[in-house]
Amino acid sequence: MDAMKIEDGFMVPTYQRYPIDAVRGRGALLYDQSGKEYVDCMAGYGVAILGHHNEYVLGAIREQIERLMTCHSSLYNDARAEFLERLVSLTPKGLDKVYLGNSGAEAVEAAFKFARKCTGRKEVVSMVGAYHGKTMGALSLTWNEKYRRPFMPLVPGVKFAKFGSLDSVRDAMSGDTAAVIVEPVQGERGVYPAPKEFIRGLRELCDERGVLLIFDEVQCGLARTGRLWAWEHYGVVPDVMTLGKGLGGGLPLSATILREDLASKLKPGDHTVTLGGNPVSCASGKATLDYIAGRRLWERAERLGRYFKSRLEELKERHRIVREVRGLGLMLALELRFDVRRVLLNALERGVILLYSGRNTIRLLPPLVIERRQIDRVVEVLDEVLKFEERDRGLV
C-alpha cells in the first residue's frame, strides 16, 4: 500500500512531512512498511516517552477497551477516577484540581480561560520564542509570526516579554494582567532551559501582583528533563500547570492542573470538551504514570541524557558546522550553522529519525527507554551526515 501517496492525496497539506511510512514500533525503534528499522528520536514529538509497544500500558488499554471505551465527563467513571488520583499523587500539595482534554493546545486553552475567569482580568504575558499550540487561544500565546500572521486577528490581551528578562515581564504587566505563561524549557524554539533566577523571580513578581504563574510542561514534563516536572530544577511551584504529549501513553490526553481555590471559581459549563477524560486514554495514562513513577524514569532520563549530551559535545568538537549543544535530560538540541533539513533527510536514510526546531536546530526527544547502544547509533549516524554536510559545503 502506498500510504504516502494516499495521505498526500487526502490530507490537507499543513504538516511538514518526512518520507517514511511507519507501521510498527518496539521501544525506541520504529519500522517502515519494507521492514527498515529506525531509531526514533522524534517519538511523535515527545509523545512516546515509554517508547512504542509498552506491554504494561498495552495491557491497561486492552483491559479498558473490553469494559468501556467512551464515557463523557458528565458521568463518573472508575478509569478516570484512578487516573486523576494517580496524577494528583504526583503533583505538589495544593496543585490538585484537574481539567482533562485531548491535546496540549486544549490544556493551554483551558489555562487561558481559567486565568481570565479566576482573576477577573484579561491580559496574559507570554514569552518571545514561546510555543503553546495552534488553536486560536493557544496560538495567541505562541510567538512565531509564521504561525500567527495568516490567522490574525488573534485573541486580544496577549503581550510578549523577553524569555529570561524579569524587567521585560515587569514592563509587559499591567493592572489587568491575569497570568504569565512560560515553558520552563522552551522546546519548539530550540530547547532553551530558562535561567534559574528568571523562574524564581517570576514567582516573586507574580506573587507581588496577584498574577497567576502558568508553567506549560506539555513538552518538558513527565520525566523528560531528568525530573518528573521540569519546574523541580528551579524549586518553583506554579499556580497552573499544563500537560499533554506522553500523558496518555500514546493516546490523546492532556491536563490543566490548578489550585483548589482557583478551581472553586469555575462553574459547570465554563469549559468542557466531549472527548476529554476518555476512559481508555485515562487507563493508558494511569499505567504510564505508574510506569514512570515506579521505575523513577526521570533518573534514567538524567543519566542517559548526560551521556547523550556528552556524545553530542564530542560531535561539536569534531564538526565546525555544529554551533551549540543544549538541553536537559533527554530533551536535547544540536544547533548547526546551516539549515538542518538535508541533515535530517540523510539521517533518515541511515535509519535515524530526528526533529528540527526552527531552521538550524536538530531537536532530540527520544523515548526515555532508549538504550545506550541506540544513542551510540544515533551519534554515529550524525557524525556521518555532518561529515557529508561539511564536505559538501567545502568546509573540510
Ligand X SMILES: Cc1ncc(COP(=O)(O)O)c(C=O)c1O
Candidates 188, 239, 389, 390: give the one binding ligand X (CB under 6 A).
188
Cα dihedral sign, 304-309-310-311? positive
Compute the least distance from the CB of residue 18 to ligand X, in Å.
Answer: 16
Compute the least distance from the CB of residue 158 to ligand X, in Å.
Answer: 15
Compute the least distance from the CB of residue 136 to ligand X, in Å.
Answer: 12
What is the C-alpha to C-alpha distance for residues 173 and 82, in angstroms, rounded to an integer? Answer: 39
Size of the site for ligand X (CB under 6 A): 15
Residue nearer to ligand X on the CB measure, 108 or 325: 108
Alpha-carbon torsion angle 39, 44, 45, 47, nearest 10: -110
Candidates 108, 158, 180, 353: give the one binding ligand X (CB under 6 A).
108
Residue nearer to ligand X on the CB measure, 216 or 389: 216
Query: Partners of 364 in the beta sheet?
Result: 332
Cα 272 from chain centroid (whole Å): 22
Candidates 25, 137, 184, 187: give the one binding ligand X (CB under 6 A).
187
Specify the amino acid at residue 242: T
Compute the least distance from the CB of residue 33 to ligand X, in Å.
Answer: 26
User: Is 222 one of the binding residues for ligand X (CB under 6 A)?
Assistant: no
Residue nearer to ligand X on the CB measure, 305 or 322: 305
- Tell me the backbone φ, ψ of residue 218, rounded to 5 degrees: -60, -40
Compute the least distance from the CB of residue 218 to ligand X, in Å.
Answer: 4
Contact 111, 240 (CB under 8 A): yes
Q: Is 12 exposed, middle or buried (0-12, 13-18, 19+ CB in 10 A)?
A: exposed
In 3D space, the residue among 1, 32, 9 whose CA is nearest the CA of residue 19 turns out to be 32
Contact 357, 388 (CB under 8 A): no
User: Is 286 one of the binding residues for ligand X (CB under 6 A)?
Assistant: no
Stretch that binds ligand X, among 173-181, 214-222, 257-265, 304-312 (CB under 6 A): 214-222
Residue nearer to ligand X on the CB measure, 133 or 238: 133
Specify the amino acid at residue 105: A
What is the C-alpha to C-alpha distance for residues 298 and 302, in angstroms, rounded to an integer? Answer: 6
Stretch that binds ligand X, among 58-66, 67-75, 99-107, 370-378 (CB under 6 A): 99-107
Residue nearer to ligand X on the CB measure, 178 or 182: 182
Within 7-36, the residues that bind ligand X by CB under 6 A are: none
DSSP-based three-state secondary structure for 28: coil
Residue nearer to ligand X on the CB measure, 131 or 308: 131
Other CB atoms within 10 A of residue 286 CB = 24
Query: Partners of 30 in the beta sheet?
Result: 25, 38
Candidates 40, 123, 216, 239: give the one binding ligand X (CB under 6 A).
216
Per-residue cell: 340:
538542518
Residue whose CB is nearest to ligand X in the complex, by number = 104
In 3D space, the residue among 273, 287, 281, 269 whose CA is nearest the CA of residue 70 turns out to be 281
What is the C-alpha to C-alpha distance for residues 160 and 129, in angstroms, rounded to an integer? Answer: 9
Within 225-284, the residues that bind ligand X by CB under 6 A are: 244
Compute the least distance from the CB of residue 187 to ligand X, in Å.
Answer: 5
Within 121-140, the residues that bind ligand X by CB under 6 A are: 131-133
Residue nearer to ligand X on the CB measure, 105 or 206: 105
Residue nearer to ligand X on the CB measure, 185 or 347: 185
> What is the Cα gyration radius of the chain?
21
Compute the least distance from the CB of residue 144 to ligand X, in Å.
Answer: 12
User: Is 45 one of the binding residues for ligand X (CB under 6 A)?
Assistant: yes
Residue nearer to ligand X on the CB measure, 219 or 374: 219
| H-only helix segments in the chain | 3-10, 43-46, 55-67, 78-90, 104-119, 136-141, 145-148, 166-172, 196-209, 260-263, 279-294, 297-318, 341-349, 372-392
Q: Which residue has the cell 488499554?
A: 61
Within 373-392, the residues that bind ligand X by CB under 6 A are: none
Interface map 164-183 toward ligand X (x if CB under 6 A): -------------------x
Residue nearer to ligand X on the CB measure, 54 or 219: 219
Q: Which residues in this chain contact ligand X in the complex, by CB under 6 A?
A: 45, 103-105, 108, 131-133, 183, 187-188, 216, 218-219, 244
